[in-house]
Structure 1
Amino acid sequence: MFQAYDEALHWIHSRLRLGIKPGLKRMEWMMERLEHPEKKIKTIHIGGTNGKGSTVTFLRSILQEAGLKVGTFTSPYFEHFNERISINGRPINDQDLILLTNKIKPLADELEETELGGPTEFEVITAMSFYYFAYIQPVDLAIYEVGLGGRFDSTNIIEPAISIITSIGLDHTNILGETYEEIAFEKAGIIKRNTPILTGVKQENAYEVIREKAMDNDAELYRLGEQIQIENHHSTENGEKFTIKTHLGTVEDVEISMFGKHQTENASLAVMAAQLLKMSDESIFQGLKKAYWPGRFDLISSNPLIIMDGAHNEEGMETLVAELRKRYKERKIKVIFAALGDKKLNNMIRKIDLIAEEITFVDFDYPRAAKAEDLYALSSITQKRIANDWKQAVLEELRAIKSNELLVVTGSLYFLSDAKPFIQQHIFDKGFISKNK
């Protein structure tokens, strides 16, 4: 039995050695032994290549504004592991995490001895969340973010009230497939019979896969740009302002503090889901206004100007570059970049090269992290460097930044989860710059 939080967390992380093992058999086995907590929770399921976390946040904030107790299961965490299992935006406490680990570990040990093999880290955490939301801290509704793909993701044992597929991009192609259609097929695996499905997918061939899956399951389909419309959009100094129109009603002049057209799309999917759940316009308006999700075009400081963005794949990087061009075309952009080695890095770095004055490539302590030297070799600009100590690189850039420059820290969300608290605690507290957030 674990007594200390660090021991419990170490055991959870030790499951990373098992890697990614797609399939639902291990989850079904554990749920059977736990008396099916996943069937005792009302859920919403959100998949997609990009935009999952933001959509979870928008929807959670709306439902919370309406007075509901809302659980969320997300990945990766940003500053603290416990964020992955949260209620109304508050992470699970350490003692409850220890309790859950002690509940799941015996099952994991027993499962290890079967032909199914031991559960992965993600499967273990998913099982913990179901037990937590069903038995320890019962919630009115839980929003589940897909970890990878959809069809064989460990979250896909739920029967949700609503399913959402935000987008399709060429990410995790070694597992999900090389084409938009193949990836759409995996994402569409979360579509359930007679369950509304909302999507922001733009590629027609990928959308057709989703449409056919919805038809096969008699699932009502709502698509961004068709049944869900965004009107009167314009960017503001602090975010975006726009109107959302669906067959269930129009919510005018909503405001969000997350930057970018893509965030209006994520918010609109959340609004449609909220309308299906019969939330009021006032809850929608106020929930969107209050929603905040770290690491997504996150303004860390305005003087000097520092932005963090978890552009961890090609589509995410394309969105980041477009937003930087729109908002900061007069600034010289300096970039600190780290990534996971299993991404399509050449296209990502090619996009950064187009807008960066200078790039510092770094590596960080994570099993799948790419080497700074490998990232450096993919860049074509002349003003670039390698820094194996990312903390030192951050300090150097902050000391050197000028008033006409912008520092962008981007790439893997796992990297940003280390970098943001480092900047806040080790730089702001020491008086290098004034804290903005």
Structure 2
Amino acid sequence: MDYQEAIEFIHSTYKFGSKLGLSNITRLTELLGRPQDSYKIIHIAGTNGKGSTSNMIHDVLMAAGYRTGLFISPYLEEFTERIQINKVHIDKESLARITSLVKEKIEIMLEEGYNHPTEFEVVTAIGFKYFQEQNIDFLVLEVGLGGRFDATNVVSNTLVSVITSISYDHMEYLGDTLEKIAFEKAGIIKENSSVVIYPQEDNIVNTITDIAKTRNARCYLTDKNNIEKTDGNLNGQWFRYLKNDVFDLPEVKISFLGKHQLYNALTALRTLEVIKLSGYNITEESILTGLASVKFAGRFEILHEDPVIVIDGGHNIDGIKAFSKAVKENFGDNKITLFFGILKDKNPDDVLEYLIPLCNKVYTLTPNNPRAMKASDLDALIKGSYNIDVTVIDDYENIINIVKNAGKNDYIAFVGSLYMIGDVRTILRKEYL
């Protein structure tokens, strides 16, 4: 296989759907020699904040001198983003070679009577094998969907599990209450391990801690009162970590904007405390260097300042609420020009009430995904409920001309499905990055 053939093979497995369960990935990794047992795992589940928290932990571990893998999904612009080591994406030659190996093992599985692995299972196996070959120290491993039956949960060498913000999403798989969803996410907690929990509602925290107790896992809670914002602008925000019984930190800077990112940073710091207490060399200097260096494309990312252009992958109710709060916090009373696209299964009716009051104009787009809501249907939905100027964009390339005609004091936001945000970012960065 060459790189393009590998990508085509991987994407061809999309037709096998999304199946929760570990039998397929267990057998596939067995045939590969269980590569996931070769390094320590920081396993991260949750509805929102997984990516930001993962990147913060990854960059600090890297700054501390550890060879650190990062496995995330979905990708924003390039497939190779999903599998990284110390901020370097998997090279195309390695991806092609390992994909060929995985395909050979899948053929053995099929002969044994197993079902064909799903796309996510295939990518997970490729990542595990690559990280083994590259002899990493840590893998910061982001769950794909849920936790308990997610393909990533085939790991056993977990140093610490992290549960980020829980909200309603993928309810057809995970359940129709926050407690049921939290139960599924907490399925990544391993026997006699540690778990760090993002600060959230007691019913969610209690569900997670109850599961941890059954597995004799140590719970490390977070407290919003332990972090205090001291300053902020469009380039980032500064805070003090008030706990400081493991680390003695001065003022800390992150490039992420929004109060929710402070709580993600709080969760990352608590996780780094657990890693340090486990005997690893995490210093104050590595924390300051790592957190200051973190950039995560598509998460309230400021691409330009005059006019202000921001892109954000908020694609469910809590993600949109966080975006709305960040707009009010950073843009004041200024109205935004919104470019918006969403998947049909993300309850667009519910998120619009948080978005439309922020806007003076809306453009609708169709994300590049079979589950996408068509831009024309989204246009009709908005016009049916709100008195605001809405225009359908059929060709993403038209975006540049619209943005170029904006005034220097305008605020322009691209929000919604990551399948839209990635394509938009590819177009915009030619002009603005």
- Taking structure 1 as the reference length, the TM-score comes to 0.93
Partner of 1:361: 364
Partner of 2:279: none
Aligned CA distance change for structure 1 residues 330 and 243 (closer, same or farther; 3 Å): same
8 Å CA contact 2:55, 2:294 repeated in 1:
yes
Picking from 319, 324, 349, the partner of 1:321 is 324
Query: How many Å separate the matches in 2 of 1:283 and 1:70?
Result: 14
2:353 partner letter: R
Q: Does 1:155 align with 2:152?
A: yes
Q: Once the 2 structures are TM-superposed, how far is the Cα of residue 378 of structure 1 from its aligned partner? A: 2.9
Deviations 1:64-119 (A, max 9, x none): 11111100100111221001000001100000000111110122233345543100
Deviations 1:15-43 (A, max 9, x none): 11111110000011111111111111211
Aligned CA distance change for structure 1 residues 169 and 246 (closer, same or farther; 3 Å): farther
Deviations 1:205-227 (A, max 9, x none): 1111101011111111111217x
Structure 1 unmatched runs, 5+ = 429-434
8 Å CA contact 1:349, 1:378 repeated in 2:
no
Query: How many Å separate the matches in 1 of 2:373 and 2:111?
Result: 34
Picking from 141, 145, 150, the partner of 1:144 is 141
SS of corresponding position for 1:100: helix
8 Å CA contact 2:338, 2:362 repeated in 1:
yes
8 Å CA contact 1:239, 1:260 repeated in 2:
no
Query: How many Å separate the matches in 2 of 1:264 and 1:96?
Result: 36
Partner of 2:268: 270
Q: Does 1:231 align with 2:224?
A: no
Q: Once the 2 structures are TM-superposed, how far is the Cα of residue 335 of structure 1 from its aligned partner? A: 0.4
Picking from 370, 375, 388, the partner of 2:373 is 370
Partner of 1:398: 403
Q: Once the 2 structures are TM-superposed, how far is the Cα of residue 386 of structure 1 from its aligned partner? A: 4.2
Partner of 2:240: 243
Q: Does 1:210 align with 2:204?
A: no
Query: How many Å separate the matches in 1 of 2:188 and 2:173?
Result: 17
Q: How many residues align?
A: 424
1:71 partner letter: G
Aligned CA distance change for structure 1 residues 164 and 172 (closer, same or farther; 3 Å): same
2:380 partner letter: A
1:213 partner letter: I
Please identify, of 160-169 and 262-271, the stretch whose mean Cα deviation from structure 2 is larger.
262-271
Percent identical residues: 36
Q: Does 1:43 align with 2:41?
A: yes
Query: How many Å separate the matches in 2 of 1:246 and 1:375?
Result: 47
Q: Once the 2 structures are TM-superposed, how far is the Cα of residue 349 of structure 1 from its aligned partner? A: 1.7
Please identify, of 155-164 and 326-335, the stretch whose mean Cα deviation from structure 2 is larger.
326-335
Deviations 1:379-421 (A, max 9, x none): 2333343424241441342133123321100101121111111
2:148 partner letter: R
Query: How many Å separate the matches in 2 of 1:146 and 1:250?
Result: 31
Structure 2 unmatched runs, 5+ = 277-281
SS of corresponding position for 1:79: coil
8 Å CA contact 2:300, 2:311 repeated in 1:
yes
8 Å CA contact 2:147, 2:188 repeated in 1:
yes
2:197 partner letter: T
8 Å CA contact 1:243, 1:250 repeated in 2:
no
- Taking structure 2 as the reference length, the TM-score comes to 0.94
Partner of 1:11: 9
8 Å CA contact 1:168, 1:201 repeated in 2:
no
Query: How many Å separate the matches in 2 of 1:390 and 1:326?
Result: 32
Q: Which structure 2 residues correspond to residues 411-426 of structure 1 after superposition, within 5 A?
A: 411-425=416-430
Partner of 2:83: 85
8 Å CA contact 2:161, 2:194 repeated in 1:
yes
8 Å CA contact 1:362, 1:386 repeated in 2:
no
1:143 partner letter: V
Picking from 168, 171, 175, the partner of 2:169 is 171
CA RMSD of aligned residues (A): 1.6
1:86 partner letter: Q
Partner of 2:339: 336
8 Å CA contact 2:397, 2:427 repeated in 1:
no
Query: How many Å separate the matches in 2 of 1:318 and 1:360?
Result: 19
Query: How many Å separate the matches in 2 of 1:390 and 1:176?
Result: 35
Q: Once the 2 structures are TM-superposed, how far is the Cα of residue 250 of structure 1 from its aligned partner? A: 4.0
Query: How many Å separate the matches in 1 of 2:391 and 2:106?
Result: 41
Aligned CA distance change for structure 1 residues 371 and 232 (closer, same or farther; 3 Å): closer
Aligned CA distance change for structure 1 residues 391 and 272 (closer, same or farther; 3 Å): same
Deviations 1:134-186 (A, max 9, x none): 1x211011110000010000000112100000110101111111111110010
Query: How many Å separate the matches in 2 of 1:281 and 1:41?
Result: 24
8 Å CA contact 2:46, 2:164 repeated in 1:
yes
8 Å CA contact 1:332, 1:404 repeated in 2:
no
